[in-house]
Amino acid sequence: MSLIVMKFGGSSVSNIDKIKIVTAKIINKKKTDKNKVVVVVSAPGDMTDELIDLANQITDKPDDREMDMLLATGEQRSVALLSMSLKANDYDAISLTGPQAGIHADMTHTKARITVIKPLKIFKELNKNKIVIVAGFQGINPNKDVTTLGRGGSDLTAVAIAAAIKADICEIYTDVDGVYTTDPRVCSRARKINCISYDEMLEMSGSGAQVMQARSIEVAKKYNVIIEVKSSFNNNPGTIINDGKKEKKMENVVITAVTFDKNQSKLSILEVNDKPGIAAKVFGILAKSQVNVDMIIQSSARERYNDISFTVSRNDLKKTVSVLSGISRELNSKGIIFDDKIAKLSIVGVGMKSHPGVAAKMFNALAKEKINIEMISTSEIKISCVIKEESVNKAVNALHRAFGLNK
Amino acid sequence: MSLIVMKFGGSSVSNIDKIKIVTAKIINKKKTDKNKVVVVVSAPGDMTDELIDLANQITDKPDDREMDMLLATGEQRSVALLSMSLKANDYDAISLTGPQAGIHADMTHTKARITVIKPLKIFKELNKNKIVIVAGFQGINPNKDVTTLGRGGSDLTAVAIAAAIKADICEIYTDVDGVYTTDPRVCSRARKINCISYDEMLEMSGSGAQVMQARSIEVAKKYNVIIEVKSSFNNNPGTIINDGKKEKKMENVVITAVTFDKNQSKLSILEVNDKPGIAAKVFGILAKSQVNVDMIIQSSARERYNDISFTVSRNDLKKTVSVLSGISRELNSKGIIFDDKIAKLSIVGVGMKSHPGVAAKMFNALAKEKINIEMISTSEIKISCVIKEESVNKAVNALHRAFGLNK
């Protein structure tokens, strides 16, 4: 017998036929070895977008608390329908809203953080041998108001519940078979990864792979929750995400995946005075404007002057330029240039820690394809380069081959 | 300054344009004398029906608890959108689900009864000068599950909150201008009633007038909540429903309204043995089968045999016949006959208590029109006759004229 958390996204419950398919999947899991099962579900299909659209018909800036009140109805619909469907198949089930499930969150509406999970009710219902269906993406704050957890919120609910009830595994059902060595739409030789560590997965999330959001992986890492990312549509084994300690083979693998992110733009502030506090000023004011800065590079090769370059997501480019223009006089720079036809290309793998020469191999592979590198940034287990967007496909295929990911 | 409860039905919040109209109505009420305002709202338009339809696509018999979980999302959507809309107009507001508003109900799902209202949160928010928007139709049961209150549930929520917070008035906004002396679609001379007593309104609800359900009026009567039924679409004064004690003019009015109910059918069990316990058996078994029996007439003119006649709603006719057939041998009757082409016609008015001859006047008016009376039943302030359905319009107009309701 295992204690299992299963998470299904909105596309898996977008209509009644799909709900019936999910029902069968849950029943199958429940039967096998008489497992105890907690299911986390998102709002059906495009419902969240529809509700946001309704709110925007009322006002440009809907009140955050009321937005959460509105959005929370989406998941509530899903859990009620799914629980009905299980009961109609003679499997006892109970639906719980986030608040009912004991998911406590902080006071930030529309992107709350989970503070603690009190799984008393979940345990109580599991002990009655019920399948417990929990609304993802939502919690209750100290005011007893409903809050929502922001992007990736349902994954987070699933992982956090798995941590709180000490589940044996947290299964994330998606429309792909698992985590891939790179995007199969770009590289036909992409392969499913059988096992990947939390750290690698975190770097992948941060560098364009859209399987799971970083915040869920962080929680999984912290509480050592074993995740399996797998398909809603077949029974193939998926990708296991864990601490990587048990994987003996891992020593031999240098690079686990090649990722890319086209939603990037690059800015440079030219010839800024090289005195303390300038970078703090620039990035402080951007943070205040809610601009998320990704790579930052400052070259101090020249005397007295620096260029500061950094990347932001393309949606933030306009705002960033306008914010920087506002303080350009204070910076006394020679000007701002930007380019939104770029992409970030990364290789990820814990193996690179102990294998020297990985960066050189990457640059070499790109050079052979005559791809120019505009920025470089490295972490312990990741190397990222900014290149022209038009070169992404060629670059991904070259790196996938160079690091032996084609098998 | 007054403390006011305003209730809007589903058709008043069926789309964003209508929500904006309701918003303006609330703001206008709030401004006047700086009133404190609690608003109760139903689910938008046909949403409840749509959700029921979704559930029925899963199974013929959806689980009741899960049905409530599903249906409750409708009102939650309405309160969030309405609160957003008020805030967008710079009026501070807060939406509350039934459970958040402190509406406690019993364990019966899909048709729960309110047990108590704990209006702490409502008062707290009113004292912050907020407009409090409460989801109608829903409450929380001792299990901390969401329940729904069944037909007329949102009116009930409004009246019960008005009672709990001792509101000065509970305004029920509808698509008509108020309560009419009879259905204007049937009688062009129908007039809006300015003031009607709880008892009269109760009899009207029970005899086909569909303005408000009896359960809400019962609560209003018990706690002496003054109700005003009025239009969502204009600012005309509506119909006040109260205990009738302040209305001096009432002495002169014999009959307040003429009502009719076409959703009726008549059954007779012929020549039943006239011995004790037969009626108890018949109506006991019908009650067990959830058949709601309305008028009952037993004539014991003949020796040893009785005919038992009664009316049930047309939807229950088939079930009633089948239940009676099952026990026909035990009854040893001569057979069952039924007729679903009938209607119940009633006159209602507290004045009839002190005015003799009201019944005679009614029968006389019908006789003049050559309308045959098939059954008669009377209460303190109501006289009902069963007549052929085809005669309803003629009968209503005749009675409306005979009792001076044309003015």
Task: Find how far residue B136's CA is from the centre of its chain.
Answer: 15
Closest CB to B54: pick one of A16, A66, A95: A16
pLDDT value for A48: 94
Mutate to test the interface with A, among B20, B21, B50, B58 (most CBs of A within 10 A): B58
Q: Are strands A293-299 and A257-273 parallel, antiparallel or unpaired?
A: unpaired
pLDDT value for B306: 76
Q: With an 8 Å Cβ cutoff, are A76 and B79 in contact? A: no
Closest CB to B16: pick one of A16, A54, A63: A54
Residue of A nearest to B140 (CA): A100
Total beta-carbon pairs less than 8 A apart between chain A and chain B: 102
Residues of B in contact with A21 (CB under 8 A): none
Is the pLDDT at A273 greater than 80? The verdict is no
**Is A88:A50 a contact under the CB 8 Å cutoff?**
no
Closest CB to B73: pick one of A65, A76, A94: A76
Edge to edge, what strands does the sheet with A131-135 contain?
A93-96, A131-135, A36-41, A3-8, A169-174, A227-231, A239-242, A195-197
Based on its alpha-carbon atoms, the radius of gyration of chain A, rounded to whole angstroms, reads 23
pTM confidence score = 0.85
Residues of B in contact with A57 (CB under 8 A): 16
Is the pLDDT at A248 greater than 70? The verdict is no
Strands, E assignment, B106-144: 114-117, 131-135, 138-140
Report the pLDDT averaged over residues A303-316. 84
Report the pLDDT averaged over residues A33-52. 93
pLDDT band at A290 (very low <50, low <70, confident <90, very high): confident
pLDDT value for A303: 65
What CATH architecture applies to the domain B3-174? 3-Layer(aba) Sandwich (3.40)
Closest CB to B66: pick one of A57, A62, A83: A83
Interior/surface letters A66-95, b for 16+ CB within 10 angstroms, e for the rest: bbbbbbbbbbbbbbbbbbbbbbbeebebbb
Report the pLDDT averaged over residues B150-163. 95
Residues of B in contact with A62 (CB under 8 A): 84, 88
pLDDT band at A250 (very low <50, low <70, confident <90, very high): very low
pLDDT band at A328 (very low <50, low <70, confident <90, very high): confident
pLDDT band at A300 (very low <50, low <70, confident <90, very high): low
Least confident range of A242-251, A275-284, B141-150, B290-299 = A242-251
Report the pLDDT averaged over residues B314-341. 87
The pLDDT tens digits of the residues spanning A108-158 come to 999 999 999 999 999 999 999 999 999 999 999 999 999 999 988 999 999
pLDDT band at B303 (very low <50, low <70, confident <90, very high): low
How many angstroms away from the CA of A170 is the closest CA of chain B? 25
**Is A97:A41 a contact under the CB 8 Å cutoff?**
no
Closest CA to A157 of A143, A140, A174: A140
Is the pLDDT at B33 greater than 70? The verdict is no
pLDDT value for B305: 74
Closest CB to B54: pick one of A70, A81, A144: A81
pLDDT value for A252: 61
Instruction: State the Cα angle at B27 between B25 and B30, rounded to 5°.
Output: 110
How many angstroms away from the CA of A55 is the closest CA of chain B? 7
Which chain A residues touch B if contact means CB-CB below 8 Å?
16, 19-20, 51, 54-55, 57-59, 61-63, 65-67, 69-70, 72-73, 76-77, 79-81, 83-85, 87-88, 94-95, 97, 100, 144
For chain B, how far is it from start to end, CA to CA, in angstroms?
36
Task: Find how far residue A64's CA is from the centre of its chain.
Answer: 23
pLDDT value for A264: 92
Mutate to test the interface with B, among A39, A69, A87, A134 (most CBs of B within 10 A): A69
Report the C-alpha gap between B156 and A368 in whole angstroms.
76
* Class of domain A258-402 as given by CATH: alpha beta
More confident residue, B209 or A27: A27
Report the pLDDT averaged over residues B282-292. 86
The pLDDT tens digits of the residues spanning B228-247 come to 999 988 889 999 999 988 66
ipTM for the predicted complex comes to 0.82
How many angstroms away from the CA of A67 is the closest CA of chain B? 7
pLDDT value for A247: 61
pLDDT value for A91: 95
Task: Please provide the DSSP assignment of B249-304 as one string.
Answer: GGGG-S--EEEEEEEEEEEEEEEEE--TTHHHHHHHHHHHTT--EEEEEEE--SSS
Residue of B nearest to A62 (CA): B84
Q: With an 8 Å Cβ cutoff, are B85 and A58 in contact? A: yes
More confident residue, B291 or A242: A242
Domain residues of chain B, as ranges? 3-174, 258-402
Task: Please provide the DSSP assignment of A58-85 as one string.
Answer: H-SS--HHHHHHHHHHHHHHHHHHHHHH
**Is A163:A125 a contact under the CB 8 Å cutoff?**
no
pLDDT band at A344 (very low <50, low <70, confident <90, very high): very high
Q: With an 8 Å Cβ cutoff, are B76 and A70 in contact? A: yes
Closest CB to B58: pick one of A76, A88, A94: A88
Is the pLDDT at B75 greater than 80? The verdict is yes
Least confident range of A98-107, A164-173, B282-291, B336-345 = B282-291
Q: With an 8 Å Cβ cutoff, are B94 and A65 in contact? A: yes
Residue of B nearest to A55 (CA): B81
Q: With an 8 Å Cβ cutoff, are B81 and A54 in contact? A: yes
* Average pLDDT score over chain A: 91
Residues of A in contact with B58 (CB under 8 A): 16, 19-20, 81, 84-85, 88
The amino acid that residue B50 corresponds to is E
How many angstroms away from the CA of A136 is the closest CA of chain B? 15
- Percentage of chain A modeled with pLDDT above 70: 96
**Is A236:A229 a contact under the CB 8 Å cutoff?**
no
pLDDT value for B335: 85
Based on its alpha-carbon atoms, the radius of gyration of chain B, rounded to whole angstroms, reads 23
Residues of B in contact with A58 (CB under 8 A): 16, 19-20, 81, 84-85, 88
The residues near A249 (Cβ < 8 Å, ≥ 6 apart) are none
Is the pLDDT at A31 greater than 90? The verdict is no
pLDDT band at B249 (very low <50, low <70, confident <90, very high): low
Give the residues across from B264 on adjacent strands: B313, B342
The pLDDT tens digits of the residues spanning A176-194 come to 899 999 999 999 999 999 9
Report the C-alpha gap between A337 and A36 in whole angstroms.
57
Report the C-alpha gap between A66 and B76 in whole angstroms.
10
Give the residues across from A387 on adjacent strands: A343
Report the pLDDT averaged over residues A359-376. 91
pLDDT band at B6 (very low <50, low <70, confident <90, very high): very high
Is the pLDDT at A251 greater than 60? The verdict is no
Report the C-alpha gap between A344 and A361 in whole angstroms.
17
The residues near A84 (Cβ < 8 Å, ≥ 6 apart) are B55, B58, B59, B62, B63, B66, B67, B70
pLDDT band at B250 (very low <50, low <70, confident <90, very high): very low
Is the pLDDT at A209 greater than 90? The verdict is no
Q: With an 8 Å Cβ cutoff, are B73 and A70 in contact? A: no
Q: With an 8 Å Cβ cutoff, are A63 and B20 in contact? A: no
pLDDT value for B273: 74
pLDDT band at A338 (very low <50, low <70, confident <90, very high): very high
Report the pLDDT averaged over residues A302-329. 84
Residues of A in contact with B85 (CB under 8 A): 58-59
pLDDT band at A249 (very low <50, low <70, confident <90, very high): low
